[in-house]
Structure formats: C-alpha cells, structure tokens
Amino acid sequence: MTLDRITPRKTRVGLVSGGLGAYWPQFPALLPQLEASARRVSSRLSELDCEVIDAGFVSDAGEGAAAAEKLRVAGCDLIVGFLTTYLTSSMLAPVAQRSGAPVLLLNLQPTEAMDHESFDTGAWLAYCGACPLPEMANSFRRLGVEFRSVSGYLDDERAWTRISRWIKAAGVRAALRHGRHGLLGHLYPGMMDVSTDPTLVSAQLGGHVEILEVDDLRVRVEKVTDDETAARVALAREVFTVDESVVDEDFAWGARVSVALDRLVEDFSLDSLAYYHRGLDGETHERVGAGFILGASLLTARGIPAVGEYELRTSLAMLVMDRLGAGGSFTELQALNFRDGVVEMGHDGPAHLGISARKPLLRGLGVYHGKRGWGVSVEFDVKHGPVTLCGLGQRRDGKFTLIASEGTVVPGPLLRIGNTTSRVDFGCDPGEWTDAWSAGGIAHHWALGTGHRVAELTAVADLLGLELTVVRP
C-alpha cells in the first residue's frame, strides 16, 4: 500500500519571443541567433514543471496580435514575453492585454557580456533586450497592465531562480483560481478571527467554495465496508507509529471516516477542506466530527489540505504552501520558551505528514481539548531546519493579506499530547516575535512549511494582488 499524492493541474505558461523585423534584412545572421535563444528559453521553461504554450517568434505588430489570440485561447496562467532584442511595445501590448494572465518580461542576453573588440552592430543587437524593457514598462503602465521582469543572460542561474519563483507563483494563483474549497459544518463558536465570507474568496482569489453539511460525510461513513476499513487501518499502520494508547475501536472508526472523507473529496472535486462540527452526547454527528483527524492528515499529505475549526483561510494558506513544495501544517501558538529562546507551536488535529521530522505517531486521546468527542490524533514535529509561517489575514475592509515569517525548527523537548509541536527559533526574543506576529494581522491559525519561502511568497502576493507582511522583529 502507498499514500499516493495527487497530481495537481500543470501550470500553463504562454511564451512569445520577439524582435524588430526591420533588422532581419539588414543583419541576416541576427534572426537565426535570436530564434535559437528563444528555443533555449522555451526548453528551460519546460524543465520548470509547467506546460509551455509557445506562440513563436513575432517580428511586427500583426504577428503580435496573432500570438495574442493563440495565447488567449490557451487559457494561460502566466504570459512570458522574451525580449530578444529591441522590439516596439505595440508588438507585445495585445498579448498582455488579451490574455487575462499575469505578464513576465524576460531580458536574457546570450552571455554575461559582449566582446567589444569583435562585435559589430548585428552582434550587439542580440544583446539589446534591455533596450525595450523601459518602453514595455511605461506602455504597460499606461495600458493598465501589471507586469514584472527578470534581466540576466541565458545561462544565468540567478535569473532562472527568479523565473522559477514566478512560475511557482503562477501555479499557486492557478490553484486558487481553479480550486474548489470545501467548507463543512459550522464555525467554532466564538472564533471571530477565523470567520470568512466565502464570496470574498471567489472575489479576491478566484475558485469556488462548496458549502457542505456533516450529513454529506455521515452518509458516506455509513456506506464504508468493514473490508475498506481494515485496509485503511493497514495503511495507517504503515504510515504511522501506532502508540499503545490507541483503542482499536477508535482506530477503526477513524479509518472508516478516512475512507468516507476520500469519497467526499472525490465526489465534490475538492482541492481543500475546512470543517468543524460540535455534536452532543456521543451521537453520530459528534462521532463523525471527532473522527476526522486520521483521514484529514492523510488527505493533507496527498496534497489536499484539510483543517479543523472551520478555518477556511488557513486551508487556503496550506494550499499555497503545499503548491510551493513546502508542505504546510495546521499551526497555532502553544507556549513560549524563554530559557531556550524558542516559540513552541503546532496544533491538535490534522497535520502535513510529508514534513514530519520522523515517522508520525498516532496517539489515542480520551478527550480533545475544547472539542467534543474522542479518538485518535497525530503527533510529530516538523523537520528540523529552515521553516516559513504563512497565514491569510483579513483587514477591516475585507481585503485579504498574506502574513509570513521565517525561522528555524530546532530539536528539544516536546509535549506528548497528540499534537504536532515544533520549537521555532526566530533569532530574537520569543516574546518580541510573538508581539510582532500578532500585530501583523494574522488570525490564530496559520500554515507552517519547510524552507525559507518569503521570496516565493513575495511573487505569490504580487500575482494575487495581495499585500504581504513579513514579520522580522
């Protein structure tokens, strides 16, 4: 048995390369050189885990308009304009205007520098991609087209690192714009900070929020067979270390709910899920609500973030981190350790198993703190090393914001209470960091992912049109 990760939709990148056609009869060797550079860029883009729709090389405004139509129909997530030499802004303006996708301009000259002793005008023009960049910038601003640019040379790995960030960011934007986000149950009573208007998600990020009821899951739980439950228990035993505190009956119930969750996600074509149901006195709905943790953790590890407490915005932040390759686990503050200079954070409930520092533990709990029910919960700490916190905040005017902070997970003593718990060193006094983090507009949940990701989140925020607050006390 294996825990198969989903295959997300490929990021669709439209590429158009161009130069001024007046040069071709004057300098016969120039166009073949520029077309070779364009093929090189197309090949490198294809290596960045994306689908490249190459509209070819344009030499005048008419060809630019034809390329614009091709890329418009393709439904691209990012338009890349490769400025191989000077070209007029009228050649790329229709591409930028009609696609409806963010625009990235590339100025990548053939090598680090020209050979000034041997170059003539034709050879120089192959290095002249920087010349039209200010023209494009000015024209696009006047046309109301947002853009960003990367300048370098064809084999400049620093430039390709920046390009890769924009490709990843476009993938995140696409995941949100095309996403279907489940919202099951009801708000945890009193949590004013996590309340989110689903319409604002569609308005600002795109995608669709599917409103679900606990009965949508209950009926699927009731249809899970004993054989399916046993198979899920066997899978869980491979994925987790099962603590002796786990009661067989609770383990089987969590496995049964897990199978039903998979079906719910499949039936509603969900890319993320936020849930909560309180229930009462051990009745069926309470047991269903208490049985999420195993299945939600398995879903999250497969690339479908699932979180408790009806935390829609955090499920979206986890989706952002997951699509950046950072994992992203449901997290809140737990305690401050002033002796060791770390902030202890984590959460009970679902966690991203793919970023655990060790084989995750399944622990049996007689009570979930602050929630009704009982059963099994997941326990681990995130891989030691650099990490990034990412949350989706909301201002008074309803506008979403991204909030992020980079730190380092360090080893040390952890609680053994069925929670994910990590010790994060932010390089400053834990109290000062906590005050700054709380003042940044974050709610009391966020996604914790591996690696330092602020540079990537900066690109994500740009493409989503969101303000990014980076907390660095």
Helix axis angle, 454-464 to 157-177, nearest 10°: 50
Asked if residues 144 and 96 have their Cβ atoms less than 8 Å apart, the reply is no
The residue ranges of every structural domain in the chain are: 11-176, 179-470
- Position 347 scores a pLDDT of 87
Residue 2's pLDDT is 59
Can you say how many angstroms the Cα of residue 122 is from the centroid of all Cα atoms in its chain? 44
**pLDDT tens readout for residues 321-357:** 999 999 999 999 999 999 999 999 998 778 899 999 9
Contact 296, 288 (CB under 8 A): no
What's the pTM value of the predicted model, to 2 decimals? 0.94
Confidence tier at 1 by pLDDT (50, 70, 90): very low
**pLDDT, average across residues 121-126:** 96
| CA–CA gap between residue 203 and residue 200 (Å, rounded) | 5
Query: Tokens in use for 150?
Result: 């990367």
Task: Please give the Cα distance from 390 to 249 (Å, whole number).
Answer: 36
Task: Give the pLDDT score at 418.
Answer: 79
CA angle at residue 349 from 382 to 8, to 5 degrees? 70
Statement: residue 371 has pLDDT above 80: no
* Cβ count within 10 A of residue 459: 24
Q: What angle do CA 363, 366, 370 make, to 5 degrees?
A: 100
Mean pLDDT of 107-111: 97
Task: Specify burial of residue 347 (Cβ count, 10 A radius: 0-12, 13-18, 19+).
Answer: buried
The pLDDT of residue 325: 95
**Bridge partner list, 181:** 209, 272
Structure tokens at 340: 């060791």
Q: Which CATH class is domain 179-470?
A: alpha beta
The CA-atom distances, in angstroms, between 131 and each of 11, 16, 36, 107, 349 are 30, 17, 20, 9, 55
What is the separation, in whole angstroms, between the first and last Cα of the chain? 46
pLDDT range class, residue 303, cuts 50, 70, 90 = very high
- Give the model confidence (pLDDT) of 40-81 as tens digits: 999 999 999 999 999 999 999 999 999 999 999 999 999 999
Topology of domain 11-176 in CATH is: Rossmann fold (3.40.50)
The pLDDT value given to residue 220:
98
Give CA angle at 304 (302, 306), nearest 5°: 115
